[in-house]
Structure 1
């Protein structure tokens, strides 16, 4: 598989917006296709990696009711105007010129790195974020996509356990701590689960010292290597990302924040959102027994679009107890919901 390059489109008729985006794009050596009509934007809606929507054209585009997707950003100088269309278009707001750094991060994200990286963040403890991350990666593999699951949560117990692969030979993070720069194809050294590439945290020996966590340089090098040889990279970053993982959640294609429907879970998620800068955050709402709060109400309370809703699945819970990878069965309402999340990522092989 060759190295992918991102395709960026900008919908605007406002010269100030196109000039600002064009200057930022030139600084990163990327091209942005400027479109002047909502119809033209709709024709590129599914194929573009990133869609930038000028505030001047947001209403026109929203009137067509485009299918919700990731990688949408509303750009312009009027915060109120951009905020008005953020939810209808499921887009992140970038106010110019104050948000030029955020715009630059979006334009730089996929350049030469290959596959999109999706970060999964736990809004509260024990909410099942690792299961969502694993489910996305396993489901992508079932569709014939090449996928990698990267564990960046040092206190999560190791994502290989979740996949039933704790005895599968291959390198874990302790073997990759020295990775720097552009490293070779590491797939042959890593555990494989049904064709899914896995990078798991190690587990310290009982009574021994805690294991060393990967640095930002190591994480960037490994993700870059995986991205050049996979269609999708899913990063399980836990609830509070380690220092080395913060650039990942700040520049990835999308950050899926898993929250429950209980009051404490929503409050905890609000705390996480306030403490961590996330790129293109969206909610995955896990419905919990006894709570009837609708997902859209939770989305409005947290100020984020809802990317998906997951209902309780007893079969999934039973499978987890015996190391059955989430999503392997490919059936059931939980798997269907994960499939819809995957659809929204618009991953291309």
Structure 2
């Protein structure tokens, strides 16, 4: 699944040109002026081959002001930065560029850069990476339970079906290392196609179209899961999961990521989400569990919405529950007796209750601000 890239630059200008015009928000690629002119020219030539306009900034602070999509910086530009990521979680992707003699890996690791490219060997990868950054980007929505048995995985499956039936291209992915329950709920254990274990040795980038064509289809959406009863690959979280989800953004308008129960702050899966649906119960004791988890997340997280699961304790409604958690309300999920038996039999997607479908449509509608790139 790793791309084999054949990159040959087209006709090059005599001197690589880099624009220093005002930064364009969100989709621009910014190069922090490197110490060596040779490196600046090399990166500019790669940007030309990728069809990307490169904007020049003097410092990381200046680069961030324009809210770019990608910031390219050499190892000297990283000096003095912290080790917890150069920008906020919602900030730009940071790529450290340099020659092997510059030893960019050490400084990039210390500063918390997202990726490292060693030139000229990595020029093909960087050209492809920059070219893909200009394409449409789908959104990743996480679904997290706040207590055991909260129904987070069930909600993720039902939302995938509802979103696909509304005409979206949808991937349902298992982001919980201890999960492996999606296939069973959907009766997809014997469906042919890639699982997470097949992607454990991915290096570089993943072609979005190849990924989509290799995944199993469940009804009208795709599925990427852990086989039940198998331990997930060891390096999946830190290395492979972000790379695969980046490819998913290129193929699917919406990726629904099952985060499991109370994912830890800073977990790789949580970091990849544009928004999170927290499944909470309308019961006082379980509300305390939800409040503890929400408080543990800190500030470096995506927006979180509450999905309140019935039944509700006396004196509570979904609005009051969301207020107690200080979370915006995405919707109320009514308790449906048939869901438990259906998922035990692998027939979850066959449950079609009008009230349930209305609730799912309402939850997706609450996420509309995230639907636009």
* Shared fold, TM over 0.5: yes
Q: Does 1:28 align with 2:13?
A: no
Residue in structure 1 matching 2:194, options 165, 171, 175: 171
- Give the drift of 1:348: 6.2
Secondary structure (helix, strand or coil) at the match of 1:274 reads: helix
Is 1:332 the equivalent of 2:354? yes
Residue 232 (structure 1) aligns with: 254
Residue 162 of structure 2 corresponds to: 139
**CA displacement at 1:258 relative to structure 2:** 0.5
The two structures have a TM-score, normalised by structure 1, of 0.65
CA offset digits 1:188-221 (Å, max 9, x no partner): 222110131111112336xxxx443522220111
Equivalences, count: 257
Partner of 1:217: 239
1:239, 1:272 within 8 Å by CA — same for their partners in 2? Answer: no
Alpha carbons of structure 1 residues 238 and 200: separation in structure 2 relative to 1, 3 Å: same
Paired residues of 1:153 and 1:242 also in contact (CA < 8 A): no
Inter-CA distance 242–266: structure 2 relative to 1 (3 Å threshold): closer
> Secondary structure of the residue that 1:228 maps to in structure 2?
helix
* CA–CA separation in structure 1 for the residues paired with 2:133 and 2:250: 11
CA distance in 2, matches of 1:338, 1:301: 22
Change (3 A) 1:318 1:204: closer
Q: Distance in 2 between matches of 1:338 and 1:108?
A: 32
| Equivalent residue runs for 1:262-281 within 5 Å | 262-277=283-298, 278-281=301-304
Tell me the CA shift for residue 108 of structure 1: 5.9
Q: 2:221 aligns to what?
A: 196
Kept after mapping to 2: 8 A contact 1:138/1:325: no
CA deviation after TM superposition for structure 1 residue 23, in Å? 6.4
Whole-angstrom distance in 1 between the partners of 2:163 and 2:26: 20
Secondary structure of 1:150 counterpart = strand
Q: Output aligned runs, 1:148-167, within 5 Å.
A: 148-167=171-190
Deviations 1:16-70 (A, max 9, x none): xxxxx9963525258xxxxxxxxxxxxxxxxxxxxxxxxxxxxxxxxxxxxxxxx
Q: Distance in 2 between matches of 1:303 and 1:290?
A: 18
Q: Which moved more, 1:227-236 or 1:149-158?
A: 149-158
Q: Is the 8 A contact 1:120 1:132 kept in 2?
A: yes
2:323 is aligned to 300
Between the two structures, name the one with larger relative contact order (CA 8 Å, sep ≥ 6).
1
Secondary structure of 2:197's aligned partner: helix
C-alpha contact (below 8 Å) 2:242/2:272 kept by paired residues = no
Q: Which stretches in structure 1 are left out of the alignment for 5+ residues?
A: 8-20, 31-99
Shift of 1:290: 4.9
2-structure distance, mates of 1:197, 1:6? 28
**Kept in 1: contact 2:69–2:92 (CA 8 A):** no
Question: How far is the alpha carbon of 1:130 from its aligned partner?
Answer: 0.5
Asked if residue 258 in structure 1 is aligned to residue 279 in structure 2, the reply is: yes
Name the residue aligned to 2:45: none
Look up the match of 2:129: none
3-state SS of 1:225 partner: helix
TM-score scaled by length of structure 2: 0.61
CA contact (8 A) 2:67 2:92 kept: no
- Unpaired runs of 5+ residues, structure 2, are 1-24, 28-60, 71-85, 95-131
Q: Secondary structure at the match of 1:105?
A: coil
Distance 1:323 1:29 in 2: 41
Q: Which has the larger radius of gyration?
A: 2
Is 1:186 aligned to 2:211, yes or no?
Answer: yes
